[in-house]
Amino acid sequence: MITCFEKLDNNNTDEIINKAARILKKGGLVAFPTETVYGLGANGLNAEACRKIYEAKGRPSDNPLILHIGDIKQLYDIVVDIPDNAKKLIDSFWPGPMTGIFNKSNIVPSSVCGGLNTVAVRFPSNETAKKLILASGVPLAAPSANTSGKPSPTKAEHVQHDMNGKIDMIIDGGECDFGIESTIIDFTEKIPVILRPGAITKEMLENVVGKIVFDKAVYSLLSEGEKPKAPGMKYKHYAPEADIVLVNGSTENVVKKINSLLSEDFKNGLKSGVMCRESNLKLYNSKFVLSFGNSADTAGKVLFDNLRKFDDISINKVYSETFDESNVGMAVMNRLKKAAGYKIINV
């Protein structure tokens, strides 16, 4: 299959959106930008079109898809009940990087939901995403447009790297604003449960509806036999080719430890890199040091791009600084821990 690559400029948006919508209506696959990461879109009410998403990504069939809506009316077609706390959070955070889990209506194929009776729904704020959904006339299933298990794509080039020849079209709308996937909240529980942390933080949600809890899979490695509530969270994720190790502690201790590990690796012929705050860039003795910027917010935006950059230069090991697990730091640490397979050195 030849993948058509279209870059948006100020004049061609409508033409490209219409072309993409025609592909989607015929059951094809189109990758498009959202404010979180690039999504791989298909008609979310067409089981056969969604099957192609699983095939292109190599995604296990029990890992359900998120349906993306372009206006709030579409929500009422695909879910059966919307609890009051969900309504309040929708008023506050949609359109935006928040996904809700609801009981699904009959028009949503069960294969799109990994066989569950619930459906995940998001209303993105990105203008291209909204226009594309409305032009297609149906909710779009749109998981991250990467090969399953790899870092999510935050630039169209990342999508091209993973999906070229496997999908019909890629719309290049530039770099994603947040760079980290949406916050997923299960609204089928009395107290809403965060299944995946994102840019809409627990603190922001609690300001609107009071108590919210994290699913255990958000912050720790589950033991054998334990099941996360979001089926996708049990799979290996965000994994670059290199071994990632997190080093946690005071800056002084972290720098000392990482530099000693780097010199050991160097002696053993390994190519090792570092991910750190901008202000610490000069403190590490490696040629391969990538910056997170200076906050968890900037780290979220560049994390997946950094992981892919290390792959491009075939790094063997990456040592990473850590962040406080509050606000957006929770989402960044969740992705970092998964990328590292929970290998953390406390110093």
Phi then psi dihedrals of residue 345, to 5 deg: -105, 120
Nearer to ligand AMP, 217 or 258 (CB): 217
Phi then psi dihedrals of residue 236, to 5 deg: -60, 140
Nearer to Mg ion, 144 or 306 (CB): 144
Q: Whole-number minimum distance, CB 238 to Mg ion, in Å?
A: 9
How do strand 243-248 and strand 30-32 relate by DSSP bridges? unpaired
Angle at 339 between CA 247 and CA 165, to 5 degrees: 150
Q: Whole-number minimum distance, CB 61 to Mg ion, in Å?
A: 15
Other C-beta atoms closer than 10 Å to the C-beta of 231 total 17
Residue 230 binding: pick among ligand AMP, Mg ion, none (C-beta 5-8 Å cut-off by kind)? ligand AMP
CA end-to-end distance (rounded Å), the chain: 50
Q: For residue 285, give the 3-state DSSP assignment.
A: coil
Residue 183 binding: pick among ligand AMP, Mg ion, none (C-beta 5-8 Å cut-off by kind)? none
DSSP 8-state symbol, 223: P
Residue 64 binding: pick among Mg ion, ligand AMP, none (C-beta 5-8 Å cut-off by kind)? ligand AMP
- Binders in 136-195 for Mg ion, by CB under 5 A: 144
Nearer to ligand AMP, 197 or 232 (CB): 232
- Binders in 88-147 for Mg ion, by CB under 5 A: 144
- Name the β-bridge partners of 250: none
Cα–Cα distance, 104 to 68 (Å, whole number): 14
Nearer to ligand AMP, 232 or 300 (CB): 232
Q: Which amino acid is at 113?
A: C
Residue 300 binding: pick among Mg ion, ligand AMP, none (C-beta 5-8 Å cut-off by kind)? none
Residue 66 binding: pick among Mg ion, ligand AMP, none (C-beta 5-8 Å cut-off by kind)? ligand AMP
Note the residues at the interface with ligand AMP (CB under 6 A): 63-64, 66, 101, 113, 116, 118-120, 143-144, 181, 184, 195, 229-233
Q: For residue 83, give the 3-state DSSP assignment.
A: coil
Residues engaged in binding Mg ion (CB under 5 A): 144
